[in-house]
Structure formats: C-alpha cells, structure tokens
Amino acid sequence: MAGVKQTLSVDLAGIRLASPVVAASGCAGTGRELAGLTDLRRLGGLVTRSLTFEPSRGWPGPRVAETASGIVTGVGLQNPGVRAFVAEDLPRLARAGIPVMASVGGGSLQGYIRAASILRGEPGIVGLEVYLSGADEENRGLPFYSRIDRMAEVVGAVSRLSTVPVFAKLPALLPDLVPAARGCIRAGAHGLTLIDSVPGMAVDVRRLRPRLGAIIGGLSGPAIRPIALAAVFRVAQDLPQVPVMGVGGIATAEDAVEFLLAGAWAVQVGTALIVNPSAPTEIAQGIAGYLKAKGLASPGDLRERMRLTGEQPARGTSAS
Amino acid sequence: MRRVRAEILNARRLGAFQSITLVAPEIAERARPGQFVSVAVPDDRRFILRRHFSIHQASRRGGWAGTLEFVFDPHGPGTDWLAEAKAHQFLDVIGPLGKAFAYPRGPSNCLLVSEGHGASSIFFLAQELRARGKRVDMVLGASGESHVFKPIEAKRLSQTIVIVTADGSMGERGSVMDVVPRAAQTAGTEVIYAAGPRRMLRTVAEFCIDQRIPAQVAVEEEMACGTGLCFTCVVPVIRKDGSGYDNLRACTEGPVFNPARVFWDRWMSEETRPVPTPPEGFSPVVSSWPA
C-alpha cells in the first residue's frame, strides 16, 4: 500500500514519543553511559532507575545471576536520591533531548509523596512511573502491590501531585491483575506499565548458597516474555482506552510487535539494552519495516489487529 | 569506548587458559592496563549476558598494530562457545571499558602481584611501566603449574619473579601472601599493583596499608552490562571524607580501586553471610513478594 504516510510516533495520555521504544527503568544508567554507544535521541524515551526520596545503596552483592534465557537481579533500588537526580542526572538527560519518565519508589506512602513532590513541575520530565514492587513499611514489609487499596493509595497520591501523566508499573503474577489495573486507573493513573520483573531465585549448589545477596530477586529477559505478553493482553482487553507500555524480555522487533498486537501502546526494553546498547534503535527500525510491509501508518494501528479466532476465555481468568 | 565488529586474528590455548587476539584498532589505540572489553554472546544462547575480559595486550604500533588480546578460562560459565571460536570469526566487542591502573609519577620500584587469571592484565601493566622506566618485579600465584600464567614471559618482563602455587607443582608452595613481604623487601618496592580473587586482594591490601605502600587493585567482579547501566557489579568503597561508603560500579568507577578505601569487611561478608543484611540506614526498598 504505497502512499500511507508512516510515523513511529505514539501518544501516551498526552506524552508524545517519536518512537514507541522506551528504555526500561534500571537499565539505562544515568544517561551518561549509553551516550558513546548509541544515539540517545533515537530512543522513544527513557525511564530512570527508581528514585527514592533518600539515597539508597541497594543490596549487597552478588546482584546478578544468569539463568536460562534471563537474569535474576537484586539491586535494591540503588539510587542517589531524587534530589541528587534532579540536580545531576536530569539536566544531562534533558540536554541529550530524550523524553524522561522518572520512576518513583518508596518504602511508605510518605516516601512516595516526598519523592513525587521533588519531581513535581521539573522541566524535562514528561511522565512518572510508579514502582510498586518495593517493601511497604506500613504493611509488614509486603510489597505495595499485594493490596489493591494500598496500590491505589500510593498511585493516587503520586497522581494528585504530578503535573505530568502517571503510569503505574504492575507485576504480572497478581491473582487480581485486571482489578488491580482498574484500581490504579481509578485512583488517578493515566496509564500502566506491564510487567515488572518476576520474583526469582538461583542457588549456588557448589557452595550451598543463594546466588544473590538479596536471596530473591527479579527475573527478566526473554524467559519472562510470554508472561508479560499475557498480562498486557488481559489488561488491554479489559481497558482498551488506557495506554499500556509493555515490558518483559523484548529483544527484537518481532518481540515488540507481539506486544503491540496484544494491545500495548508502546514497549520498554530493559535486559536487551544491557546486552545490546543499540537494541532500542534496531527494534524501532524493525517496527517501521513491519508497519510498512503491512501497509499500516503507525504503531497504534497494530492494536486490535490481532485476529482472535475461536472462543475467548472469560475475562480475568487464565486459559490454560 | 567504542563498539566494533572485530575479527579474530588468532585463538590459541595458553596452559589452562584460552587466548583470543582481535583486530580492533579503535579499541587497541585507546586501551590501557586494567581496562577490559565486553563481548556479546551469539544469539539464541541459553546465556544472554555479554562476557567481560581484562585486556591482556594492546598493540598500538609495530606489526601487530591495532590488535588486542584477552585471556579467559575456557570452562567458565558461558565461555565454552568462545573457547571454540576460530580465526576469522567476528565478535561484537565494546571497549576499552573501566578505569585503568595509574602510573607512579617519580622513578619507582613496582611489585606486580597476581593470582591465576588475574595475571592477564598485569602483563600489559608491566610493559607500560617498563616503557616509563620503572622497575618491575612480579609475584605470580596459581593453584597449580597449568594455571601459572606465562611464566617465561613474566621473567622477561620483570627484574625478579617469585612463582607460588598452592600445590607446589611450580615455584614455591603456598599462597601469594606468603611471599609478597619478602619479594617487596628484596626489590625495594615502592608501589604495589594486584589483580586476582577478592580474598587474595584483601591480604595484599592489608599488607600495603600496614607497610604504608601505595597500592592499586583490580577486582574480578561478575558484570552484567559492563558499561555502567545496571548497577550489579558494585564494590563498597569508603568515601574520601570517611563519612560512610558508597557502592561503586566495578565496571565504571573500577575495576581498579585504591585498596585503602575498599570497605573490605563489608565486601568480604558477601562471601560468607548466610542471610542478607538490608542496606543500612535506609528504608528497605527491595524487591519482595507476598508471604
């Protein structure tokens, strides 16, 4: 189909990105490291590592264990604190011309509020992402995502403070994923990021020890892609109007197209980025090639294009 | 730092190790001792992370100009495929990465201490120190004879050399630290450089601190990205003003550190601690899961 004017740009609740491929949280460093290896301006956007109000040293090592088609990491949100980020890293990222989404973390509701207050109105930040996998000091150290009302409380507080669109980042393995997604949107989130890394572990059998200092970390990489895809699909079916960023094991353009077909509005690339610094650029080019071959004008045209033959499972259940 | 598609010029066995020489002028021209390269694994592998190797040689001039060599354990996790790589194959390489060893300013006697594979970066350092008119002495440690790294080359590069193996199959029997004090005294050592496993580095560091000998150590941390993105290869380093410590990335702020500032107790505890201690003084913001 010649004559279709093609674009890679996407609009996520008012965040306009030139490419649907975004660097995922915790995988793009401080914005300095990638500069010599890839053209940062060709990233659709960049999600920062999760920022807490106070600086955090993170977990002791070892922090990474390689497993089949993936890595288990336990970094523990090492970050310089949100004020140091605004003073040091943000100006550099802004100068590089990359749309920056700041990932906000915390150990308490107050922690989120204080971090979000510092980011409020900062030029150069186009959106926030709320990290919900951290331990909640006010709920016996369980993760924020373990209770929908608690997630909604945190997401709501950040959204009320924010002057830019807010995305809630959810893990895949929630029994009530769709209600949780709805809860976050109702609380004020403008979009969702699906999924966070999957709780994982590896053991050194020779030394009879866990391979991570954190013992349990997060599994990422191609091993979790089908899990992420299913989560994106379920939520996108239920909330077709809500912008979803799909993330989990995306390493190639074909992987990304899978997510766009399943209902994602954009994709994030994490583990692939630490293996191949130009992965986001290559994936964006591949998406453009795919759109052209299919005669489609933009990544958004892929949503709802997937042919769903046969009977569909009832919403909210997993079809096995 | 550059990313290149580099042709393998030569792949050969070196005792218990495997050596690969690449044609990579963009990297070789900039490479300094202590730095490393990052090599991508082939697609569709069970392992996905890049592998990181310290630079053993980099030639900027002469017949081998523009080449660089690295050495690795062919039985290491995820390096079996690389052990089978042949000349004329291409590798996706990023480098040079990391902070290099610094050279002493005045005329100095340098003792270079290494164990096993750690020796690979020490040879490059020895050449550069000699080119700057420094005296080089070496202590070369290993588990056994086959793991003693290039002993003949080591003799050629250094004024004196002590070889020490755990099983006594070559040189003296014992550990590196059994011979370092004597070697340092004999050579009138003014500066010590060390590369090798964490435990060995610590014993060398304690000696240097005790004897007030300035030193630099290159750590062998497992790295995921090698470029500073992922914060997985951190080493606890005490701040200059002594107000606490920071977890610094071995790939970016290292792999060469001042051993007097490494927080050894904290770092060593990672090898023995049965349960993790949450980061002290900060809220426990960690990945966790519903109980």
Contact list in B for residue A49 (CB cut-off 8 A) is 231
Residue B275 has pLDDT above 60, yes or no: no
Please report which helix (H) or strand (E) contains residue A115, including its range. helix A109-119
**Looking at the domain assignment, is residue A231 inside a domain?**
yes
Residue B202 and residue B133 share a domain: yes
Residue B162 and residue B88 share a domain: no
Write down the pLDDT at residue A310: 67
Name the residue with higher pLDDT: B44 or A274. A274
**Looking at the domain assignment, is residue A207 inside a domain?**
no
pLDDT by residue (tens digit) across A204-253?
999 899 999 999 999 999 999 999 999 999 999 999 999 999 999 999 99
Name the residue with higher pLDDT: A318 or B257. B257
pLDDT by residue (tens digit) across A92-107?
888 888 999 999 999 9
What's the whole-number mean pLDDT along residues B59-76? 86
**Looking at the domain assignment, is residue A151 inside a domain?**
yes
Residue B86 and residue B159 share a domain: no
* Domain extent at residue B158: 109-222+252-267
Write down the pLDDT at residue A315: 57
Task: Quote the percentage of chain B above a pLDDT of 70.
Answer: 92
- Check if A275 contacts B (Cβ < 8 Å): yes
pLDDT by residue (tens digit) across B169-218?
999 999 999 999 999 999 999 999 999 999 999 999 999 999 999 999 99
| Tokens linked to A20 | 């649907």
What is d(CA A256, CA A285) in angstroms, rounded to the nearest whole number? 11
**Looking at the domain assignment, is residue B158 inside a domain?**
yes
Residue with tokens 């964006």: A284
Which residue in A73, A66, A15 sits closest to A49, CA to CA?
A: A73
Residue in B221, B222, B285 nearest the CB of A76 = B285
Residue B71 and residue B194 share a domain: no
Residue B124 and residue B257 share a domain: yes
Instruction: Choose from A12-21, A33-42, A132-141 the range with maximum mean pLDDT.
Output: A12-21
Q: Is the peptide bond before B255 cis (omega within 30 degrees of 0)?
A: yes
**pLDDT band at A316, cuts 50/70/90?**
low
Q: Which residue of A has its CA nearest to B52?
A: A275
- H helices of B106-189, in order, are 119-131, 151-157, 176-187
Write down the pLDDT at residue A3: 62
What's the whole-number mean pLDDT along residues A26-31? 86
What is d(CA A131, CA B60) in angstroms, rounded to the nearest whole number? 48
Residue B263 has pLDDT above 90, yes or no: yes
Residue B127 has pLDDT above 80, yes or no: yes
**pLDDT band at B290, cuts 50/70/90?**
very low
pLDDT by residue (tens digit) across A171-209?
998 989 999 999 999 999 999 999 999 999 999 999 899
What's the whole-number mean pLDDT along residues A284-313? 89
Residue B75 and residue B42 share a domain: yes
Domain count, chain B: 2
What's the whole-number mean pLDDT along residues A20-44? 88
Mean pLDDT (chain B) is: 89
Residue B130 and residue B21 share a domain: no
Contact list in B for residue A74 (CB cut-off 8 A) is 286-287
Question: So what's the ipTM on this one?
Answer: 0.89
Residue B138 and residue B73 share a domain: no
**pLDDT band at B222, cuts 50/70/90?**
confident
What's the whole-number mean pLDDT along residues B235-255? 93
- Check if A81 contacts B (Cβ < 8 Å): no
Write down the pLDDT at residue B79: 85
Contact list in A for residue B227 (CB cut-off 8 A) is 29, 33-34, 37, 274, 277
Write down the pLDDT at residue A96: 85
Write down the pLDDT at residue B285: 37
**Looking at the domain assignment, is residue A150 inside a domain?**
yes
Q: CA B24: distance to chain centroid?
A: 20
Residue B133 and residue B53 share a domain: no
Q: How close A2 gets to chain B, by Cα (Å)? A: 34
Cβ of A29 and B285 within 8 Å? no
Burial grade of A162 (CB within 10 A; 0-12, 13-18, 19 or more): buried
In this structure, what CATH number is given to the domain that contains residue B16? Answer: 2.40.30.10
Contact list in B for residue A209 (CB cut-off 8 A) is 274
**Looking at the domain assignment, is residue B281 inside a domain?**
no
**Looking at the domain assignment, is residue A172 inside a domain?**
yes
Residue A165 has pLDDT above 90, yes or no: yes
Q: Which residue of B has its CA nearest to A35?
A: B1
Which residue in A282, A177, A186, A192 sits closest to A231, CA to CA?
A: A177
Name the residue with higher pLDDT: B282 or A140. A140
Residues in A 15-74 with any Cβ partner in B closer than 8 A: 26-30, 32-34, 36-37, 49-50, 52, 54-64, 66, 68-71, 73-74
What is d(CA B163, CA B192) in angstroms, rounded to the nearest whole number? 16
Q: Which of B1, B43, B92, B230 to mutate to test the interface with A (most CBs of A within 10 A)?
A: B230
pLDDT by residue (tens digit) across A261-279?
999 999 999 999 999 999 9
**pLDDT band at B273, cuts 50/70/90?**
low
Residue B79 and residue B124 share a domain: no
Residues 6+ apart with CB under 8 A from A57: A76, A78, B236, B245, B246, B247, B279, B280, B282
What's the whole-number mean pLDDT along residues A13-26? 96
Q: How close B70 gets to chain A, by Cα (Å)? A: 20
Residue A313 has pLDDT above 90, yes or no: no
In this structure, what DSSP letter does residue A312 have?
P
**pLDDT band at B287, cuts 50/70/90?**
very low
Write down the pLDDT at residue B46: 81
* Domain extent at residue A251: 10-58+75-199+220-302
Residue B187 and residue B151 share a domain: yes
**Looking at the domain assignment, is residue B231 inside a domain?**
no
What is d(CA A128, CA B285) in angstroms, rounded to the nearest whole number? 18
Which residue in A310, A307, A301, A314 sits closest to A234, CA to CA?
A: A314
In this structure, what CATH number is given to the domain that contains residue B153? Answer: 3.40.50.80
Mean pLDDT (chain A) is: 93
Cβ of A52 and B285 within 8 Å? yes
Residue in A69, A75, A111 nearest the CB of B231 = A75
Read off the pTM: 0.91
Residue A42 has pLDDT above 90, yes or no: no
Lowest mean pLDDT among A13-27, A124-138, B43-57, B154-168: B43-57
Residue B282 has pLDDT above 50, yes or no: no
Contact list in A for residue B50 (CB cut-off 8 A) is 275
In this structure, what CATH number is given to the domain that contains residue A96? Answer: 3.20.20.70
Q: Which residues of B159-180 are buried (b: 16+ CB within 10 A; e: fewer)?
A: eebbbbbeeeebbeeebbbebb
Write down the pLDDT at residue B190: 94
pLDDT by residue (tens digit) across B77-116?
778 889 999 999 999 999 999 999 999 988 799 999 999 8
**Looking at the domain assignment, is residue A4 inside a domain?**
no
Residue B10's CB: how many other CB atoms inside 10 A?
Answer: 14
Residues in A 187-246 with any Cβ partner in B closer than 8 A: 197, 199, 209, 213-218, 221-222
Domain count, chain A: 1
**Looking at the domain assignment, is residue B32 inside a domain?**
yes
